[in-house]
Chains A and B, each alone.
Chain A
């Protein structure tokens, strides 16, 4: 079985994230890392492999700038077998629709039975790339799973929605996304980190995927950010120390704001 895990390299959420002059996410001045939510995808791929009687090959795939190699290394050190990095200057500013095109082409070129992704990227947070990739590949989407298993060419999982918890099932090939409820991701072991250094990382550009530069990047994006403004800092509030009357003081505040 060939599993492709799609992972994103994102600016650190605890750092000072901001926009570049062209209103794209600034990826130069902020430290980046493997999206924490995609670690869960790598983990589930590893578990599917460990629970399988077949030979499983796990490829991690990212579309991103040069530094995105760090994200691939991390996934390799967790235990993935090989990596593919799609990198091209013309990709700068690509939106979710464009990203899904590049991912789908790369996944097809790599060959796959199962695609595993995270629930959302921590910078974009849209959570739509897995559905878009499934649409493009023309295979079932089995998304937002908090539990997943693969047996006899069928993927099963549990999706905890707002109104109900659903059991889902689809035949491979398929696209799966997993949530942060699917189980803690493992830490890379020392051995894993050393082994990762020898694992193959292939680099592909747009011409390798037969994608025109006009289809992607800022110019090819189907959405346009017109302005970005830092949210004004909240005006400093009143802070009181509880000396026995804290609850009453708070009630008085809520009453003054007409909440009571």
Chain B
């Protein structure tokens, strides 16, 4: 069976969930071969094998952390040359898309970004994308070269599918361009203990209606009662009430959880662009005319300072 390369997003060997989802999709097209780079690369093998990787190509080098994007492109290109895969799948992070794009150009292939689903087709994999702030769904395929496709988080279920996952060294020669952009400093983001926004099953967001940084405690309390991630609208972020890393929307994160709860958010097109594909949508807003109500499965017209604490209390009571 044809092999499908899957680029592994990991932190010091801990595989992030979107990569495991890619393995599910890769198995629809062929046999997944994973490519893990940088510090802890070999430590990814167990998790990847459990989810279907027949092989794990690894390479450790300081260049992956010390220089931006290009070393990873060099490595993925070496993997493509070694494996001649039927397709290359990369998680749709900002960096993932840049890596995939440069790879596609180098190997003379077309690229599809931000797929939300993937199926095998007669003429190669067919990718589903959600465009124009999720108001349209398109199906596309790549008409030239080895399909390179980036896939959004939460596009497939993580499935156990034990495979060999044998670790092999990948031989990589870095290009001259690899050391072009130096990373001179790095401040890791502090963990909040809450789930990752793009990976969470439930997201609870606050907007301008939250009216102050201190009031975000109400949003966080609701999130914690549900084990959810916290999101924010750009208005709340621009006001300095919540970090930009939590922004949901066109210029923030795009989320697709099972449940999205919007509090004090009007539902502007740029916000919708980042959350409209959520399975169930709930909103609390004091304005009955707010456009967010056009999207909801359940909406409460009311003051969030009354509704949200009551909801949190109720959930905590039910959960005991």
Residues of A within 8 A of B (CB): 13-14, 17-19, 23, 37, 95-97, 100, 119-120, 122-123, 125-128, 131-132, 134-136, 138-144, 146, 156, 159-171, 174, 179-181, 221-231, 234, 237-242, 244-251, 253-255, 257, 259-260
Contacts and interface: CB of A to CB of B under 8 A. Distances in A.
10 contacts: A95-B110, A119-B251, A135-B105, A136-B105, A141-B98, A167-B184, A222-B142, A227-B139, A234-B281, A237-B297
B194 interface: no
B230 interface: no
B189 A165 contact: yes
A164 B185 CA distance: 10
Given A95-B110, A223-B110, A239 B318 contact: no
B141 interface: yes
A58 B297 CA distance: 49
Contacts of B302: 241-242, 246
A170 B181 contact: yes
Contacts of B130: 231
Task: With a 10 A CB-CB cut-off, give which of A14, A131, A161 has the most chain B CB atoms.
Answer: A131
A96 B114 CA distance: 14
Contacts of B132: 17-18, 123
Nearest to A142: B181
Interface string B105-141: 1100111111000000000001000111111111111
A247 B306 contact: yes
B69 interface: yes
A231 to B, nearest CB: 5
Q: Which of B134, B300, B318 has the most CB of A within 10 A?
A: B300
- Pairs A-B, 10 closest by C-beta atoms: A242-B302, A247-B310, A222-B110, A140-B180, A167-B185, A251-B314, A128-B101, A247-B311, A131-B98, A222-B144
A126 B127 CA distance: 15
Nearest to A257: B280
Given A125-B250, A180-B251, A248-B314, A223 B306 contact: no
Nearest to A126: B113
Contacts of A260: 226, 315, 318-319
B235 interface: no
B102 interface: yes
User: Taking chain B's interface residues, is the majority helix, strand, or loop, or is none over half, making it mixed?
Assistant: mixed
Interface of B: 11, 68-70, 93-95, 97-98, 100-102, 104-106, 109-114, 126, 130-145, 177, 180-189, 202, 226, 244-245, 250-251, 258-259, 269-270, 273, 276, 280-282, 284, 288, 293-303, 306-315, 318-319
Given A225-B139, A240-B301, A247-B314, A162 B245 contact: yes
Contacts of A222: 104, 109-111, 142-145
A222 B143 CA distance: 5
Contacts of A254: 259, 282, 315
B121 to A, nearest CB: 9
B125 to A, nearest CB: 12
Contacts of B187: 164-166
A44 to B, nearest CB: 15
Pick the most buried of A17, A244, A253, A254: most chain B CB atoms within 10 A of its CB. A254
B188 A164 contact: yes
Contacts of A141: 68-70, 98, 180-181
A95 B104 CA distance: 13
B98 A224 contact: no
- The CB with the most chain A CB atoms within 10 A, among B102, B105, B181, B288, is that of B181
Contact of A97 (B98, B110, B131, B138): B110
Contacts of B145: 222
Given A222-B145, A223-B140, 14 more contacts: A119-B251, A125-B114, A128-B100, A162-B189, A163-B11, A165-B189, A166-B68, A166-B185, A168-B184, A225-B138, A228-B139, A234-B281, A237-B297, A255-B318
